[in-house]
Amino acid sequence: MWLRRTSVVLFTRKVAKSGQFTDFALEMCNALIYAEEDLVRKGVGWALKDLMRADRVRIKKYVRQLRKEGVSSRIALYAIKDLKGQERVEFF
C-alpha cells in the first residue's frame, strides 16, 4: 500500500507545477484509481490537486470523468481541495 501511495505522492507541488511529468503522473493515477486502500485514494487526489497547478483545464476534465465513472469521491474531494466558488460547485 505504501509503495503505491508513494508512487503518486512523489509528485509534489514543485514537480507537478513544472508540468513536465503530467502524462506520467496521470498514468500512475489511472493505475490506482480503484485501489481499495483509503490512503492510496487520498494520495491520488493529492497528486491531482498538485498537478492542477500546471494544467488546470486538463486535470479538472480528468477529475470530472472520474466522477462520471463512479470512482471514489475521496479522490475528487482531495483533487479539488484548492478550488473555490463555482469552480468547486461544478463537481457536485
What are the residue ranges spanned by the domains of the chain? 2-89
Per-residue burial over 41-70, b = 16 or more CB atoms within 10 Å of its CB, e = otherwise? bbbbbbbbbbbbebbeeebbebbeebbeee
Cell of 67: 466522477
Residue ranges of alpha helices (H) inside 1-92 are: 2-9, 13-18, 22-32, 38-51, 56-68, 73-79, 85-89
| pLDDT above 90 for 1 | no
Q: Which of the residue ranges 15-19, 25-29, 37-41, 71-75 would you say has the lowest mean pLDDT? A: 15-19
Per-residue pLDDT at 13 exceeds 70: no
* Per-residue pLDDT reduced to its tens digit, 45-78: 999 999 998 889 999 999 999 999 999 999 999 9
Q: Is the pLDDT of residue 90 over 90?
A: no
> Up-side HSE of residue 83: CA atoms within 13 Å toward CB?
23
